[in-house]
């Protein structure tokens, strides 16, 4: 729910994807946090402005170059000081969310963090992108991948203790089963958990297996399948909206976005070229389609 007062704005909601995860998007012109604790891991990335945070007796400044991490039950407070604005995105992981992440990594415990203010541009970008994906809530597989990769980097680089996630074995038979499932169900909802169950692996291992076997993540590979399916439907004369839904895209706008990004043309251009025949330029679009398909 959103709250507005004296120029301040905040939105707080529960994640549908990760059970026990809450999210906050705040834009403050003036706000100080009194000392408090959370029964959750807290991770926050600043988009603009800054604040001074005290966490477990250590005080530091957070801004766009810093990611803030706090372990459960650590005492913290914050003040904006001279900053005229503080816009940030935050994650709150209760024990339920922590346990869910541990399951996805195949470990018993997630790491503990010894420092609260971390300068890591890659990690900041990953968590900012994850937060925006969870806010849109329109692509579960993408958000799931982003969560595994962001938390995996955070745990691996700065965590202490906890279990270590094992890499997936190189198994061509397992990969063939996963690709067959994605091709068969490309127009349906396909989750990372679905793929993990099919493979008998963790979500973390499935992503790693895809990267090693085909050079892209499961989400990127599913997009290739859906793009190829959309091309087939368009060539058969189906409308843009019909082709988008039949290929597995949530709507025509999503197909348009990925079509332009992948092929450099719009679905309408492709459909017109296919309708006009080879001299209309369809061969160019089809060659781009083929060139971008990952090879096993």
Q: Where are the domains of the chain?
A: 2-160, 166-296
* Per-residue pLDDT, 278: 62
pLDDT digits (tens, 9 = 90+) for 246-269: 999 988 999 999 999 888 999 999
Q: How many angstroms separate the Cα of 15 from the Cα of each of 70, 102, 135, 190, 225?
A: 19, 17, 8, 18, 28
Between CA 62 and CA 146 the distance in angstroms is 23
Q: Which of 37-46, 136-145, 189-198, 287-296 has the lowest mean pLDDT?
A: 287-296
- Give one word for 228, left, alpha or beta, with left for phi > 0 and alpha for psi -120 to 50: alpha
pLDDT digits (tens, 9 = 90+) for 92-125: 999 999 999 999 999 888 889 999 999 999 999 9
pLDDT band at 292 (very low <50, low <70, confident <90, very high): very low
pLDDT band at 65 (very low <50, low <70, confident <90, very high): very high
Which CATH homologous superfamily contains domain 166-296? Homeodomain-like (1.10.10.60)
Between CA 193 and CA 178 the distance in angstroms is 12
pLDDT digits (tens, 9 = 90+) for 30-40: 899 999 999 99
Spatial CA neighbour of 183 closest among 223, 214, 141, 146: 223
* Per-residue pLDDT, 282: 43
* Per-residue pLDDT, 162: 75
- Tell me the chain's radius of gyration from C-alpha atoms: 22
Q: Which of 35-44, 148-157, 163-172, 236-245 has the lowest mean pLDDT?
A: 163-172
Q: Higher-confidence residue: 61 or 279?
A: 61
**pLDDT score of 166 more than 90:** no
Between CA 24 and CA 30 the distance in angstroms is 17
pLDDT digits (tens, 9 = 90+) for 199-236: 999 999 999 999 999 999 999 999 999 999 999 999 99
* Per-residue pLDDT, 250: 87
pLDDT band at 285 (very low <50, low <70, confident <90, very high): very low
**pLDDT score of 182 more than 90:** yes
CATH label, 2-160, candidates 3.30.1360.120, 3.40.190.10, 2.60.120.10, 2.60.40.3140: 2.60.120.10
């Amino acid at each position: 729910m959103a709250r507005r007062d004296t120029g301040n704005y905040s939105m707080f909601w529960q994640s549908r994807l990760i059970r026990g995860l809450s999210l906050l998007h705040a834009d403050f012109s003036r706000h100080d946090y009194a000392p408090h604790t959370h029964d959750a891991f807290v991770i926050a990335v600043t988009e603009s402005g800054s604040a001074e945070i005290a966490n477990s007796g250590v005080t530091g400044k957070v801004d766009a170059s810093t990611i803030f991490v706090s372990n459960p039950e650590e005492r913290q407070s914050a003040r904006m000081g001279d900053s005229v604005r503080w816009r940030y995105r935050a994650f709150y992981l209760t024990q339920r969310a922590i346990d869910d992440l541990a399951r996805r990594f195949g470990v018993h415990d997630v790491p503990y963090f010894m420092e609260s203010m971390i300068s890591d541009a890659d990690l900041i970008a990953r968590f900012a992108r994850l937060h925006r994906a969870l806010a849109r809530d329109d692509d579960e597989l993408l958000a799931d991948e982003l969560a595994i990769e962001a938390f995996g980097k955070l745990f691996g680089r700065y965590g202490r203790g906890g279990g270590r996630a094992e890499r997936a074995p190189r198994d061509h038979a397992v990969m063939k089963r996963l690709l067959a499932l994605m091709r068969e169900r490309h127009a349906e909802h396909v989750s990372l958990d679905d793929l993990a169950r099919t493979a008998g692996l963790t979500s973390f291992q499935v992503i790693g297996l895809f990267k090693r076997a085909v050079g892209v993540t499961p989400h990127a590979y599913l997009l290739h399948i859906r793009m190829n399916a959309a091309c087939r439907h368009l060539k058969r004369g189906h409308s843009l909206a019909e082709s988008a839904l039949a290929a597995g895209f949530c709507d025509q706008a999503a197909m348009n976005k990925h079509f332009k990004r992948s092929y450099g043309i719009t679905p309408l251009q492709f459909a017109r070229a296919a309708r006009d025949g080879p001299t209309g330029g369809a061969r160019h679009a089809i060659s781009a389609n083929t060139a971008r398909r990952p090879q096993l």
